[in-house]
Amino acid sequence: MRNVFVMGMDERDHDLWRRTPTGRDCRFHRLPSGEELRIGEIDVERFLDAARRVLDDFDGSVDAIIGHRDLTGTLLVAILCAERGLPGPGPEAVVRCGHRYWSRFLQAEVTDAHPPFALVDLDLDDPRPDVEYPLWMRPIDPVFHEPAFRVEDDRGLARSVELLREGADRRSRPFESVMERMDPPEKVAEADRHHCLAEGAPHGVRIAVEGYVYRGRATVYAVLDSVDFPGTPVFLRHQYPSAMPGEIRRRLADIAERVVEHHGLDSTTFVVEFSYDPIEDRIDIVEIDPRPFQSHTALFELVDGVADHERVLRLALGEGPDLSEVGEKGYPVAAEWYHRRFRDGVVARVPTTGEVRALERTLPGVRIRIVPETGRRLSEMFAQDAPGYELARIVTGGEDELDMQAKYEHCVKALRFEFEDETARGNRLSRPLPLRFSRPHAFTRRRTGGIAP
């Protein structure tokens, strides 16, 4: 039995790793996560020292180390793998993906499929970028990402600069701790914590391309659609496989493979997020992530018969990640839906475990995870931003898109949430926000329901 250490592994993760074909012959051990060791700010050296003690004290072989939850963990695990000579993405390649300016710099060397961008010096009296509105102002922090700011006009620019300046000192030690390990090109090295990135706001539908790099060669194995609630920047669902035309999917895969190889990634899965404007037939890279997205895992299980964790595990063990002969095909299409509430409130009731399990038993191909806890204010939950607070993540597999959508809507109607400021059931709409069912290949929308009041 081989020993695999997984950073921040919980019970659900452990069950998933054990379900993979390769995982049945492995023992999985938990490494503490960077978030658990965080006091005030993430301390890279403190985390690494704690993780090294766990690994050094283990009485057995350390055959693989995995960090798949976030970009922070991906970098820290990459450093540990490099120290022990284990397969994994190189630390500098991970930073190239996370450092927003460095990544754009590299993208521009191999493709024009990216928005216009400019480095902004926050110490200037008038740090006005040479990018047209609307634009995004983003910290360039290589791993510990903080919120970006969408800017529509001069007033919004001034406010975003003020907020980014306030966070510069907070970012200083983690930023410098990471970058002192790297050897960036001169233009990138000039960008410190007092700089940010301005880039044009992409528009169109959002698409994610997932793949792996093995022995230096990138291979795309999946294209997924990411659909927003209309008129908002928040996700309604991630859908696999993509409904985009084959020619568009091939273009996306070609761009993703070229830019990922140019970033120097190896022995890892990756996700490249794109926006595609069907009117102008324009593709723009949103960002590159040297890890899989957990929101995709259940979709691969339902459609392909095996989670992408299998590829992650094989790569971490130095094995080939081709799964063409693994898994029994399942549903033709699957999606992870975000059931949301579009105003703040204190949670008075959530669906019980028994209610959730009973609902899952009545609907084949459905998995439900309740997000909030009773007594919590929605705006105080971790990683929750207005306008749409998550109430549940609902995974549905279907024979077609309408079957998949019908299961989702059935779940939304059945799940009972209550809030201190709302005596009615959580699925009833006091002021309905129209939800439209998007068919990306036809670029048409159909009306449906499913938003908590």
* pLDDT given at position 385: 61
Residue 334 has pLDDT above 70, yes or no: yes
User: Residue 452 is part of a domain; what is its CATH number?
Assistant: 3.90.1170.30
Please check whether residue 288 lies inside any domain of the structure: no
* pLDDT given at position 448: 31
User: Would you tell me how many other CB atoms lie within 10 Å of the CB of residue 78?
Assistant: 24
Please provide the average confidence, as pLDDT, over all residues in the chain. 88
Q: Of 115, 93, 92, 89, whose CA–CA distance to 104 is shortest? A: 115
Q: What is the pLDDT of residues 208-253, one digit of tens each?
A: 999 999 999 999 999 999 998 887 878 999 999 999 999 999 999 9
Together in a domain, 75 and 12: yes
pTM over 0.85: yes
Looking at the 3D structure of the chain, how many domains does it have? Answer: 3
Q: How confident is the model at residue 390 (pLDDT cuts 50, 70, 90)?
A: very high
Q: Are 115 and 107 in contact (CB under 8 A)?
A: no
Residue 439 has pLDDT above 70, yes or no: no
pLDDT > 70 fraction of the chain, expressed in percent and rounded = 89
Together in a domain, 58 and 140: no
Q: How confident is the model at residue 453 (pLDDT cuts 50, 70, 90)?
A: very low
Q: What is the pLDDT of residues 17-27, one digit of tens each?
A: 999 999 999 99
End-to-end CA distance of the chain: 51
* pLDDT given at position 400: 96
Which residue, 200, 220, 245, sits at the end of a domain?
200
Residue 89 has pLDDT above 70, yes or no: yes
Please check whether residue 161 lies inside any domain of the structure: yes
User: Residue 75 is part of a domain; what is its CATH number?
Assistant: 3.40.50.20
Together in a domain, 89 and 185: no
Query: Which domain range does residue 439 map to?
Result: 331-453
Q: Which of 84-88, 102-106, 287-291, 441-445 has the lowest mean pLDDT?
A: 441-445
Residue 47 has pLDDT above 90, yes or no: no
Together in a domain, 91 and 122: no
